[in-house]
Structure 1
Amino acid sequence: MFIVSLTYQVPLEQVDAFIAEHVEYLDEQYAKGHFILSGRKEPRTGGIIISTVRDRNKLNEVLAQDPFHREGLASYEVTEMVPTKASERLGFLV
């Protein structure tokens, strides 16, 4: 499992121009089972994605499809984690 932290590299006006396309990208990745949670950072400096992709190379391929990546709008910090404990509702992740 991976935690992906996006940080915007350009003004929000430039980011906003690609929000609709980014949401389509997210919808596609959710449908494929690659992402299980995502959202904005507060304050709005980027976002967070939780991915269940198991291979870092595959995740890199998935992230490269993001319009924010393609357009150079955000940098990506990826942290791999191995879940070992979860609440009952999230037990499927362990």
Structure 2
Amino acid sequence: MFVVSLNYKVPLTEIDRLQAAHVEWLKACYAEGIFVASGPKRPRTGGIIIAQCARDVLDARLAADPFAKADAADYDVTEFTARMTTAALDPIRES
């Protein structure tokens, strides 16, 4: 499992211009079963994505993000093992 931290490199006006395409990209990644959760940081300096897939699959999807294509965000990826979860997240727990 991975935690992806996006950090914006451009003004929010540019992020807002790319937002609709980014949301469509997110929806496609959810439909593929790759993303578990996502949302903006507070304050709005980037976002967080929780992903469950192989690293090469994640890297390919991140490269396809409209923010990445426009060089509007940096991505910091941290891999971890979700050994403990709430009952609602039991399906993604790893042994």
Distance in 2, Cα, partners of 1:69 & 1:15:
11
**TM-score normalized with structure 1 length:** 0.96
State the 4+ residue runs in structure 1 displaced beyond 4 angstroms: none
Per-residue deviation at 1:56?
A: 1.2
* Structure 1 residue 52, shift from structure 2 partner: 0.7
Aligned to 1:59: 58
Cα RMSD after superposing both structures: 0.6
Per the alignment, residue 14 of structure 1 pairs with 14
CA–CA distance in 2 between the matches of 1:59 and 1:88? 26
Match of 1:71 in 2: 70
Q: CA deviation at 1:36?
A: 1.2
Unaligned runs of 5+ in 1: none
Counterpart Cα distance in 2 of 1:28 and 1:18: 16
1:24-82: CA deviation from partner (whole Å, max 9, x where unpaired): 000111011010100000000000000011x2111100111100001000000000011
Q: Which amino acid aligns with 1:38?
A: S
SS in 2 for 1:17: helix
Equivalent residue for 2:37?
37
Tell me the equivalent position of 2:3. Answer: 3
Gaps in structure 2 of 5+ consecutive residues:
none
Structure 1 position 26 matched with structure 2 position 26: yes
Paired residue total: 93
Task: For residue 24 of structure 1, give the secondary structure of its aligned residue in structure 2.
Answer: helix
- Distance in 2 (CA, whole Å) between partners of 1:84 and 1:65 is 30
Counterpart for residue 49 of structure 2:
49
